[in-house]
Amino acid sequence: MKMSNLESILDTAVEAAKIGGGILRRYFDEGVSIRDKSSGGGKSYDLVSDADEESEAAIEELLRARYPGHELLGEESLQSGDASAEHLWIIDPLDGTNNFAHRIEHFAVSIGYYQSGVAMAGAVFNPVTDDWYTATRGGGAFRNGKPVSVSPVTTLGQAMIGCGFYYDRGEMMRSTLAAIEECFSHDIHGIRRFGTASLDLCMVGCGKLDAFFEYQLSPWDFGAGALFLTEAGGTITDAKGDPLPIKKSSVLATNSALHASMQEIVAKHA
């Protein structure tokens, strides 16, 4: 794809994220009721609100008008989108719903564009801090228009590591805690759990975190952030070191230098 076409795709992603972000911002300021996504009445921590749904609907409207032939895959009403489509948009209309629900200003809209399975453009937008993370394939990664790159850290003993917990509180949580414990045995500087996977990946891309892992994420969580990270010089794979599929997957994202050592830890507890 020509760079000029890619730039207009990115412009559309930014425009859509701005619209979605405006909706999130309004609900965040005015208040919105949060619902539990579980249908069976069991315990669930998977939340949703009118903000998630309205943001996705507005993003969908813009993308369908602009690119009628393109496929959309998103967390709310767009889960049946065909991930193998030649032109695919991957949308998380509100990443970090739990932060949003608890009035923590750390959530985002995430929009990625994939061509035949390859990430080509992405935008992640925090509408409260007004931070933009954008990338195009081969064009670099930018935070608020300024180029960024991953950290130069080469040993776990210098590392700040981000992680995430899937909503599951069983086996996967125990795996995550075991991996965290092993990270600490390497005298890392610290562990952080910020609660918005798209922003976690961007934080690795910006060199704030040196690595990030989570044992289960969905494509809308990492669709845009994965490109941002690799364009910033990072590496992203699943826990085994295989390329990320466009479906639920474990995720390991690093500044590249730490990938092998982090993968050893993360794979052991997967």
Q: Given the rule CB under 6 A, which residues bind ligand IPD?
A: 75, 92, 95-98, 164-166, 195-197, 214, 217, 221
Name the segment binding Ca ion (CB under 5 A); options: 17-25, 39-47, 219-227, 236-244: 219-227
By beta-carbon proximity to Ca ion, the closer residue of 151 and 215 is 215
- Which residue's Cβ lies closest to Ca ion? 95
Q: Do residues 110 and 127 make contact, with C-beta atoms less than 8 angstroms apart? A: no
| Residue 27 CB contacts under 8 Å (≥ 6 apart), including other chains | 49, 50, 51, 54
Cα Rg, the chain, nearest whole Å: 17
Residue from the set 54, 56, 71, 92 that interacts with Ca ion by CB under 5 A: 92
Work out what residue 165 binds among Ca ion, ligand IPD, none; the CB cut-off runs from 5 to 8 Å by kind.
ligand IPD
User: Residues of 205-218 as b/e, b for ≥16 C-beta within 10 angstroms?
Assistant: bbbbbbbbbbbbbb
- Please tell me the distance from the alpha carbon of residue 191 to that of residue 183, in angstroms, as a whole number: 8
Cα separations (Å) of 63 from 5, 81, 97, 111, 168? 15, 13, 23, 11, 32
The nearest distance, CB 127 to ligand IPD, in angstroms, is 14
Is residue 60 a contact residue for Ca ion (CB under 5 A)? no
Tokens read off for 163: 């992680």
By beta-carbon proximity to ligand IPD, the closer residue of 6 and 217 is 217
Work out what residue 201 binds among ligand IPD, Ca ion, none; the CB cut-off runs from 5 to 8 Å by kind.
none
Residue with tokens 């990030």: 212
The nearest distance, CB 259 to Ca ion, in angstroms, is 23
The nearest distance, CB 186 to Ca ion, in angstroms, is 29
The residue ranges that bind Ca ion (CB under 5 A) are: 75, 92, 94-95, 221
